[in-house]
Homo-oligomer: A and B are copies of this chain.
Amino acid sequence: MKNIDISSISEFGLIDIIKNRFAVSKDNKNIVAGIGDDSFCFKSGKNNICITKDMLVEDVHFKKDWTNPQEIGRKSIEVNVSDIAAMGNVKPEYAFIGLGLPPKTPEIFIKNLYKGFKKTCDKYKMAIAGGNTVKADKVIISVTIVGIGRGRGKVIKRNGAGIGDLIGVTNTFGNAGAGLALLYKYGTKHKYNKYEHFLISKQNNPKARLKEAQKISKHLTSLTDVSDGLYISVDLLAKDFGKGAEIYMDKIPVSSILKKVFRENKKQLDLALFGAEDYELIFTVPPSRAKFLKKLVPHISYIGKIDSSKKVKYFYDGKEQKIKYLGYKHF
């Protein structure tokens, strides 16, 4: 057997391996959404129960120099709530926190980490229901969140987009990636201006779009959260299910602050498409509902539409553009 280098397998590649090798038995009719969606959901009586699990590792997902322990705690919860939001009208109810800690971790670090967990769980009226702590070389945070479907609404999966549906997003893209780019380039000792600080704070303090998801979900045909950049997320709703899409790059919303810090239009779009961790939602909706949705959530923008081409085509100013993937691979 050869020794392969895991660095060459992206997270998505590994999900495929798992999906193919250990696919959930198809005859379990209680399973509503399985491996490969944002959360796993199953029916229990009349309820849909959704479960998501994510692991953050020091120096891979965060650096202690670039953020503070309270932010790390908050972010660990928010990114999991984002996976719950990506299933639609679901209320996150219980959080489980598994911690790996180096033996000499300062007490103040743990206290502030927990403060971050606690405040964020309180914000979502979610109970910290359990967890465990083990010794490790680096800080590891493994969060599991259990959500319960609200009302009779169905869970919104990634696979439901219809031909002609519009592709919508809940807010701007690129801020979080821009913050990370600044930290990579200038480190923590640089004197940042207030706009740069804003972008860095977007990297360290993501917010799950739970309320938005709860408001709009019943109108949607597909839904996911954008954790790895817009470019990958469009593929997740279109190409992964044998559909195509047209994306109008001039319609991708970018914040005025991002434009102040990164003045070049191409750079702004690169950050929006390939910069990760904005945690906005991306969804598809029949055109007839599009205006109504924007009344419910005014920040929504429509950036393209689903077609049957099996390809995702990018347009700028009416002209098709060649886009090459520039994103971050997990390994």
Contacts and interface: CB of A to CB of B under 8 A. Distances in A.
Interface string A121-159: 100000111111111111010101010100000000000
Contacts of A40: 94, 96, 129-130
B140 A100 contact: yes
Contacts of A132: 11, 15, 53-55
Interface string A10-38: 01001100100110110010010011000
Given A94-B40, A140-B140, A24 B101 contact: no
Contacts of A3: 104, 106-108
A46 B49 contact: no
SS of A interface (majority) = mixed
Nearest to A45: B45
A31 to B, nearest CB: 7
A134 B59 CA distance: 11
Nearest to A4: B107
Interface of A: 1-7, 11, 14-15, 18, 21-22, 24-25, 28, 31, 34-35, 39-40, 42, 44-47, 49, 51-57, 60-61, 93-94, 96, 98, 100-108, 110-111, 114, 117-118, 121, 127-138, 140, 142, 144, 146, 148, 330-331
Contacts of A44: 44-45, 47, 49, 148
Closest 8 CB pairs of A and B: A45-B45, A142-B142, A4-B107, A3-B106, A1-B108, A22-B128, A40-B129, A40-B130
19 contacts: A3-B108, A6-B101, A14-B133, A18-B131, A21-B118, A22-B117, A25-B127, A34-B130, A35-B128, A42-B94, A52-B130, A53-B96, A53-B144, A55-B140, A57-B135, A60-B134, A60-B135, A61-B134, A134-B330
Contact of A330 (B39, B107, B135): B135
Contacts of A101: 6
A111 to B, nearest CB: 8
Given A98-B142, A129-B35, A331-B103, A134 B57 contact: yes
Contacts of A142: 53, 55, 98, 142
B127 A55 contact: no
A93 B42 CA distance: 10
A127 B7 contact: no
A163 to B, nearest CB: 29
Given A94-B40, A101-B6, A104-B5, A128 B18 contact: yes
Contacts of A108: 1, 3
Given A42-B94, A57-B100, A140-B100, A51 B4 contact: no
A140 B56 CA distance: 11
A22 B114 contact: yes
Given A53-B98, A144-B144, 6 more contacts: A1-B108, A18-B131, A35-B131, A53-B132, A55-B132, A135-B331
